[in-house]
Amino acid sequence: MSRTIEWKDEYSVGVDRIDHQHQELFAIINRLAAAVESMPAPTAASATMHEMSKYLDKHFTAEEQFLERHPEFDRHHLAHLEFIEKTLDFQIRFADHDRNLHMEMLAFLISWLKEHILETDKKYFSYLHDNKLLDR
């Protein structure tokens, strides 16, 4: 059973740079899903996990440059840190080559990313748009 994540317009936060980065995260997760499904090929899955970690660092840095103008920025930053911590935990445990763990990790990544974009990012970016804080 394939676990993938598909970009939809409803995920847009109205900032092209961030939307493109979110789309790239979806693509990386889909590559990870393909690598996990082709087990036993842990090398490809491990390399994709590493790619995702590097990209998350780039994305969170870019996103936070916008969101630091939001009055609840610290809460958003904390959510990013918690996600990174959970992802690092998965990476450490990933070496066990446990297919169940890999499926749990994929479910977490997909669920977190969808919910985070739809419930948090969209709310924060909407505030920035409404208060004209993206134009500075």
pLDDT for 97-136, tens place per residue? 666 777 888 899 999 999 999 999 999 999 999 999 987 5
Q: Which helix (H) or strand (E) holds 30?
A: helix 16-37
Go through the domains of the chain in sequence order and give each one's CATH number: 15-130 (1.20.120.50)
Q: Whose CA is closest to 36, among 52, 24, 48, 54? A: 48
Give me the pLDDT at residue 121, please.
97
Q: What's the pLDDT band for 40 if we cut at 50, 70, 90? A: low
Instruction: Using the predicted structure, report yes or no on whether residue 14 has a pLDDT greater than 80.
Output: yes
Q: Please say if the pLDDT value at position 31 is more than 60.
A: yes
